[in-house]
Homo-oligomer: A and B are copies of this chain.
Amino acid sequence: MIRDSRLSSVLHGLLHMIGAGEPVTSEQLARAMATNPVVVRRVMAGLREQGLVRSEKGHAGGWTLARDPTDITLAEIYRAVGEPTIVAMGHRSENPGCLVEQAVNDALGDTFREVEALFLKRLGAVTLDVLAKDFKRRLAKHKQSLEDQIHAIK
């Protein structure tokens, strides 16, 4: 099954925007995400409609975060990218007259709903800010590791 990477993709872009401190162009985001500027605009358009980001045209234009990262949950971003399908499985038929199919759909449907609820709950518990801080930790660690290597050479 092909997996939808819009959420992953847009989070990547948003973290880059937080790090930049100035408008980031679709071109720059596309390079960072190894994709196409049009794809970036397409997915960012959803975030703009929800008021999560702003876009400016012309010189020094590009994308900026419109709200405080401590206030944006991943759940909100998930909704803004169009609520992609969470569970990759489904029923054969949604309106079955067959009682066997009803029994199957009910049993699986309950599980699907539970799983989706857990997914949304977890996303709702994480803010963009948390991801940004995690990134900074990684960056600091990476820097330290490089410095250690330099010392080892001296």
Contacts and interface: CB of A to CB of B under 8 A. Distances in A.
How many copies of this chain? 2
A119 B100 CA distance: 22
Interface stretch (A47-55, A61-69, A85-93): A85-93
Given A3-B88, A8-B108, A33-B92, 14 more contacts: A4-B90, A7-B108, A8-B89, A8-B90, A8-B91, A32-B100, A34-B92, A34-B93, A84-B89, A87-B119, A100-B135, A103-B138, A106-B134, A110-B122
Which label, helix, strand, loop or mixed, suits the secondary structure of the A interface?
helix
Interface residues of A, number: 55
B142 A99 contact: yes
A1 B88 contact: yes
